Amino acid sequence: MDEPTAALDPESRHDLVSLLKSSQQLAATVLYTTHHLDEAERLCNVVSILADKHILVTASPSKLIAQAEMESTILLPNALDHADQVAHLVGDDYVKVTPDGLTVRTRDTGVTFAKLVDSGINTSQAQVKDGRLEDVYLRLLEKENVK
């Protein structure tokens, strides 16, 4: 399927994605090309990332993300008053004050949360954004100097 969701409205896109997910139960193989890497991450067991007519990598989305050692970002909406303490715990370069709270970049979410909790930082309502397949793609293009 070549870009099957490209021109669809959100409802039709959702319906098609649901149909494609159900095809996994049939043990069917579907060749799916897309620029929507969030869809590829959700739907595909194996992904090949292409650039400049060449395959750069092939693996499962989770493996590609893990191999790229993508950082996660933790949003701490209730820790603004502790920005200096958090920066001391994880390093100044990894902490940013935003209107929504503190953001902390980390490669190990569990270790970072343990440090925060052990230091009494309020982690209630924390939100974690992990690296995505799109981030892997952009990093690969940067590495390959492909535009």
CA 76 from centre of chain: 18
The amino acid occupying position 21 is: K
State pTM to two decimals: 0.66
Long-range contacts for 90-95 (Cβ within 8 Å, ≥24 apart)? 90/115
CA 81 to CA 121: how far, in whole Å?
10
pLDDT value of position 25:
72
- 60 token code pair: 């499962």
Domains of the chain and CATH, by start: 10-67+132-144 (no CATH), 72-129 (3.30.70)
Nearest to 56 by CA among 129, 142, 131, 117: 142
- pLDDT tens over the chain, length 147 residues: 667 778 888 898 888 888 877 777 777 777 888 888 988 888 888 999 988 888 999 999 999 988 888 889 999 999 999 999 999 999 888 999 999 999 999 988 999 999 999 999 999 999 999 889 998 998 888 887 755
Question: Strand, helix or coil at 19?
Answer: helix
CA 106 to CA 55: how far, in whole Å?
29
Residues whose CB is less than 8 angstroms from the CB of residue 1 and which lie 6 or more positions away in sequence, other chains included:
30, 31, 32, 33
- 124 token code pair: 């209630």
Residues whose CB is less than 8 angstroms from the CB of residue 47 and which lie 6 or more positions away in sequence, other chains included:
40, 41, 58, 59, 60, 61, 64, 133
